[in-house]
Amino acid sequence: MYKGRYLRGDVINMYINETFLKKPCEQLHNMFYVNTFWFTKANELVARYDRTNHAEEAMIKITRLRRSKYPKLHDEDMQGNLPAWIFVPIHGKNHWSLAIIRLHNDDAWLAHLDSSRGTHDPEAIFHVLKQVLCLIVPIDSALWL
């Protein structure tokens, strides 16, 4: 990459899709990737949900942001068989970071990996992710709040 250039969303989406297509199926059932537009849309919908309190509508829209060739988090076949890991790329002005969600009843946590500290507000990111998780994941909401 040239000096002063940054990764674009289409490059990151291509990398995610290639990773998904090249992994054996038995490894994929533990991982769930969202595309680069997911967090932006989730952020908008959570803000609207915070104002209007339409949880079901927000849940369906947020979880349908995945492309149809991959399972969606709200699909019946995913319930009870949720992935152990969810990876969420997050774009800031000229910078990408990655949120990692670990879904396991005994070991559930959120992490935000940002190589440029201070570019993204982790509390705002965690707020959005926690709101989404409380809506779509059948796990004790006390873990996320």
Residue pLDDT, tens place only, 67-76: 334 445 545 5
Sign, CA torsion 77/80/84/89: positive
User: CA 141 to CA 134: how far, in whole Å?
Assistant: 6
pTM reported for the whole predicted model: 0.70
Residue 144 has a pLDDT of 56
Domains annotated on the chain, with CATH:
9-143 (3.30.310.130)
Residue 70 has a pLDDT of 44
Give the pLDDT mean for 51-58: 62
Residue 143 has a pLDDT of 60
Give the pLDDT mean for 61-86: 55
